[in-house]
């Protein structure tokens, strides 16, 4: 009987289920890729394209648009978070229906808007991309 114990032990270990893939890094396990976005600020959107792209805008512009093309985020929600300096000024939820997906949000400008701005693209609390601009 003693000579069979080692064989029984080896067979028992071989019968154990493999480790769950959930313990692995999702990108190593063939999971979904991280979302990525191209983001720019401009003065308008025409035919689903950003117009008036610039790094600074006069306060008299009226409004600026944060335009993004996002990939690997289909069927999720992202946010455009608008900041003046370090103060959050607006948060806009956007539904992403496909990949790639183009969408945008806007921020009205007034005389009080002068300063350094940024718009962050946020998904599940993580900043995917950030774009800075100035209002003069």
66 within domain boundaries? yes
58 within domain boundaries? yes
Give the distance between the most distant pair of CA atoms in the chain: 92
CATH number of the domain that 72 lies in?
2.60.40.10
Instruction: Determine the Cα angle at 71 with ends 33 and 86, to 5°.
Output: 100
Rounded distance between C-alpha atoms, residue 50 and residue 105, angstroms: 11
106 within domain boundaries? yes
Q: What pLDDT digit, counting tens, does each position of 65-103 carry?
A: 999 999 999 999 999 999 999 999 999 999 999 999 999
Our count of domains for the chain comes to 1
Residues 6+ apart with CB under 8 A from 133: 41, 54, 55, 56, 57, 64, 117, 118, 119
Rounded distance between C-alpha atoms, residue 63 and residue 43, angstroms: 6
Q: Are 67 and 80 in contact (CB under 8 A)?
A: no
14 within domain boundaries? no
Residue 10 reports pLDDT greater than 90: no
Q: Are 56 and 81 in contact (CB under 8 A)?
A: no
Q: Are 50 and 68 in contact (CB under 8 A)?
A: no
Residue 122 reports pLDDT greater than 60: yes
Domain that holds residue 99: 33-135
Residue 2 — pLDDT band, cuts 50, 70, 90?
A: low
4 within domain boundaries? no
9 within domain boundaries? no
43 within domain boundaries? yes
Residue 24 — pLDDT band, cuts 50, 70, 90?
A: very low
- Residue that wins the pLDDT comparison between 25 and 3: 3
10 within domain boundaries? no
Q: What pLDDT digit, counting tens, does each position of 32-62 carry?
A: 678 999 999 999 999 999 999 999 999 999 9
pLDDT of residue 28: 44
């Amino acid at each position: 009987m003693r000579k069979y114990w080692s064989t029984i032990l080896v067979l028992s270990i071989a019968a154990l289920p493999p480790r769950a893939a959930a313990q692995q890094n999702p990108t190593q396990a063939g999971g979904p890729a991280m979302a990525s976005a191209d983001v720019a600020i401009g003065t308008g959107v025409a035919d689903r394209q950003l117009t008036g792209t610039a790094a600074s805008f006069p306060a008299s512009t009226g409004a600026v648009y944060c335009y993004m093309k996002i990939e690997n985020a289909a069927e999720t929600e992202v946010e455009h978070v608008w900041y003046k300096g370090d103060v959050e000024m607006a948060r806009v939820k956007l539904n992403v229906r496909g990949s790639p997906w183009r969408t945008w949000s806007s921020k009205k400008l007034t005389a009080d808007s002068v300063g350094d701005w940024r718009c962050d693209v946020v998904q599940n609390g993580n900043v995917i991309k950030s774009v800075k601009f100035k209002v003069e």
